[in-house]
Homo-oligomer: A and B are copies of this chain.
Amino acid sequence: MTKTETRTSGGLASAFRLSVVRLNRRLRSQRADNSVTLTQLAALSTLHRHGAMTPGALAAHEKVQPPSMTRVLTALQERGLIDRQADPVDRRQSIVALSDVGTKLVTEEVRAREAWLCTKIKDLPEPDRQTLRDAVEVITRLVES
């Protein structure tokens, strides 16, 4: 077991960073061949959770720059997972929404896609699940700030 020093802020920051980097790798590698990528999945999940929005709003949500989101949306549109509707008021913008296919993918295939994580979490003792619930809130605050 790693002898991790987490009593100081610096030690905790280091250990936390390492664990997040490794978990991120693990999550990326979880991808099935014909499925969407982790980044695409994140965008779809956000659309599913928060509803239709402009590309700019989606980029802000995901904490990526607009050109990065453009690429993600292009890929999703090519696969018919999203629909884009012109904003009637401001013609520079468009409203991105999940298509029927995209909604189905989020609710079904996505669950399979993250089966690994879901199973792992299910197998944890309840106190550990509570730790992760709390951690989600703390991490969200860190990322937003």
| Cβ contacts A to B, 23 pairs, < 8 Å | A2-B49, A2-B50, A3-B49, A4-B49, A6-B136, A9-B129, A10-B111, A12-B132, A12-B136, A13-B114, A13-B121, A16-B117, A16-B132, A16-B136, A17-B27, A20-B27, A20-B139, A21-B27, A21-B39, A23-B143, A117-B142, A120-B142, A135-B138
Alpha-carbon separation in the docked complex, A18 to B38 (Å): 9
Question: In the complex, are the beta carbons of B16 and A142 less than 8 A apart?
Answer: no
Judging by beta carbons under 8 Å apart, are A121 and B16 in contact? yes
A127 to chain B, nearest CB (A): 8
**Known: A12-B136, A13-B114, A136-B4. Contact between A46 and B18, CB under 8 A?**
yes
Q: Which residues of A contact B (CB under 8 A)?
A: 2-4, 6, 9-10, 12-27, 38-39, 41-42, 45-46, 49-50, 62-64, 110-111, 114, 117-118, 120-122, 124, 128-129, 131-136, 138-143, 145
- The complex places the Cα of A83 from the Cα of B8 at a distance, in Å, of 29
Q: How many copies does the complex hold?
A: 2
Give the interface SS of chain A, mostly helix, strand, loop or mixed. helix
Which residues on B sit within 8 Å (CB–CB) of A128? 134, 138, 141
Give the residue of B17, B22, B45, B145 whose beta carbon is less than 8 angstroms from that of A62: B22
What residues of B have a CB within 8 angstroms of the CB of A138 in the complex?
A: 124, 128, 131-132, 135
